[in-house]
Every structure is written in C-alpha cells, then in structure tokens.
Chain A
C-alpha cells in the first residue's frame, strides 16, 4: 500500500491522512495497520492526564522539548472532549505547543473524543501504532482525566503521569475515586502557586492509603511548566520508570497483555460484523428483531439463534 510505504519513509502527510482514516472508521485503515504491525512496539508511551486547566499541555510542550535535547523523536496525541450533541469540538492544546510545530522531530495530532466506533480508546491505540511505526521514540498522550474512556486511554501508556495543581481540593477526591491507581508518577504543576505543600500532603496521604508493597512507588514531583522548573527532574523520573519496567520484566508483560486485548478485540469485532451482516443478508436479522419487539422471542435467545447458525455453518 502506498500510504504504508510513505508512513515508513517518514512522510508527515501520509501519517496525518492515515490518522484521519482511523478516526473516520475507514476500512482502508485496517489494511494499512496490518501492514504496519511489524514496525510497531518500539515507542515508549507516556500518558498525561488530569483535570482541565492544570497545565497538561504546557507540561507536554516542555517535556517534549526536554526530550528533543536528547534527540528523541516525539509524537503527541492531544485529546479534547467533543460536544455530545453536535460532535464538534474546539481542539486548543496546540496553543501551548506552538514552537514544536516546525520541529521536524515532532508530530502533534489533536483528537476530539467524538462518538468513536469501537470506542475512543481503540482509535487512540491505533493512532499510537501509526506514530510508533513512523519512528517516534516517545509518544505522549494528553487526556482530560475525567471519565472512563480517559482512564482506558491511559491504560495504553507504559508510564502514566497524573497531573494536579494546588488548590483543586475536591478534584483530588474525584481522582482518588477512579484513577489514582493508574498513576505511575504524580505531578503537582503550578508549584509557583500557594497551597502546594497542602496539595502534596494530600496526595501523599492518598498514596499511603494503598499500602500494598509495590515494586514501583509513585513519586510526587513538583513542576512549574510555564518556566520549565522541575521538567528535567520529571523527565529523569519518567526514564527511571521506563528502566524499572524493562528491568523488572513489566514491559514485556504489558506488551503481552496489550497484544492479547488487541487480538480479542479485533476478533470480536470481526465475528460480530460477520454474524450481523450474514443475518441481515438472509433477512433473519429483521425477522428476529420484529419478534423481539412483539415479545415472541427475547433478545438473548434471538442472539443465541444467530450464533448457533454461525456455529453450524462452520
């Protein structure tokens, strides 16, 4: 496929096109992703999540620049919420990343959460694959840490940063409820602001509520993203986490787990599509649907009938 060749040859336009195809649920994207598979698995994926306004995009900008000093190629995926009513979105994370635009070693893509077919986390995972095959050393994924799908996206990362800022109070409570567990590194940004000590104490208290012996104890870092304070230390800590993942065998386990989930997901999607299309062709789908509506049959038995048909056809 031409687009695959181009992506592997470092053609930015082709990368951007392929990402759109993935986002649009274009069937051609599947073919391209198949061909790219052999070229994936080299990137270190870093998730950056936290409430709106804590400085995630600013932090990503500074972190990317810091990695550029080490000559690492950086892919950035910045996810912002789409309107649930119109599906439209204003994607404004690039406002904080303007000087990265023209760096040939950086590729930034903004994504709306849309109503992605198969889930936002799925398409993000595929976009990560593209940037991985394109040769990015680090892929940073920024999401607003609010809902389940964001947590799911973070689960694709090898290293997840949970970003907070002083004075959020209640937000920390919400973070505790859902996503505390996924944090590998806690970052208190806007450390130039009052209340930093209290915020740090709160985070440390919460961390101590999960006292199980963990081989990796999440560090709590302070940064001032607007002027770059603490960024180098943060980068070092991220690299330390990567070392830990590699030396402990965790990296390999994560890879196996992802491959397994990926495989199961694709298989499910294929089988489902096959059964639905086949039953529609044979008009059986509509027949069963009207029977479900008129209570002649329940949806569980109807679905069973179709999967039995499938089994018998093998």
Chain B
C-alpha cells in the first residue's frame, strides 16, 4: 500500500542571477509527477547539501551558468561525502565545456544536461536514476 514519490532538489549555486532554465526543469519534473524542492538563487554548497539531506531527495539538480561550476559542483560532492550522503545523485545543467563535463563526471556528477537537452530526456533520466 505504499507509494513512493521521486523527490528532486533544484538548486542554483553561485552568483549568477538567472533561474529561467532551472524553473523550466522544475515545472517539467513536477508535471511528470515528481516533488521538486526549489530554493531560489545564490545557494552555497553547504546550503544545498543541508537541504538535500533534510528533504531526503533522490536527486539534486545543480543549475549553473557561471564559470564557477567546477569548484561549486565539486564542493557539493565533497560535502555530500563528508555528511555520509554520497548516495544522493547529483546532476548538472547549464553551459559546461566538454572538457569540464569529463572532469565533473570523474568527480561523481552523474550527468550533465547541456542547453537544448530535450526535456523528456531529462524527465526520463530522473525516473530511471531514482528507481535505482
């Protein structure tokens, strides 16, 4: 009689002030039946990790358009590990150069969604990843 619902945190680390992309993804995931915790702009890695833990999310989607993504993303990964929460899946979204994608995946980021990724693909990814 139990019904599990996928929970996703969409967070925007760093200083850039755009969250249009993040909001579009948030709405699409909601429409796909997921619960999306949205925290607004300018999140520090500490805030993101605390929120992910308290909200018990399956997946954290980090949206980032500024050049600072490498440091921010890897800080989030390190903090998750430190807090014994490395099982939470982390994805990235935004303009990330190819070389960096490789590095991010090495750092444990599960997937990076570049601009123009079809929304259905993102939804499908979340469904599959959360089921694991």
Contact = CB atoms under 8 A, between A and B. Distances in A.
B1 A117 contact: yes
A89 B47 contact: no
Interface string B1-31: 1111101000000000000000000110111
A86 B4 contact: no
Interface in A43-93: 82-83, 86-92
Given A13-B84, A91-B37, A94-B51, A114 B56 contact: no
A24 interface: yes
Interface string A16-56: 11011001111100000000000000000000000000000
Nearest to B46: A102
Interface stretch (A104-112, A165-173, A236-244, A295-303): A104-112
B117 interface: no
A250 interface: no
B53 A12 contact: yes
- Is the contact region of chain A dominated by helix, strand, or loop, or is it mixed? mixed
Contact of B40 (A23, A89, A98, A107): A98
A88 B32 contact: yes
A29 to B, nearest CB: 9
A314 interface: no
A90 B32 CA distance: 11
Given A19-B56, A20-B56, A27-B2, A98 B43 contact: yes
B95 to A, nearest CB: 24
A112 B56 contact: no
Given A25-B2, A83-B31, A94 B39 contact: yes
Q: How large is the interface on A (under 10, 10 to 19, 20 to 34, 35 or more residues)?
A: 20 to 34
B72 interface: no
B54 A16 contact: yes
B128 to A, nearest CB: 17
A119 to B, nearest CB: 14
A293 B22 CA distance: 50
Given A24-B5, A26-B2, A117-B1, A86 B30 contact: yes
22 contacts: A13-B56, A13-B84, A15-B54, A16-B53, A23-B5, A24-B4, A24-B5, A25-B2, A82-B35, A86-B32, A89-B35, A92-B40, A94-B37, A94-B39, A95-B38, A95-B40, A98-B39, A101-B39, A101-B47, A101-B54, A102-B46, A109-B55
Given A23-B5, A86-B32, A110-B35, 14 more contacts: A13-B84, A16-B55, A20-B7, A24-B2, A25-B2, A27-B2, A82-B35, A83-B30, A92-B38, A92-B40, A94-B39, A98-B39, A101-B51, A114-B3
Interface of B: 1-5, 7, 26-27, 29-40, 43-44, 46-47, 50-51, 53-56, 83-85
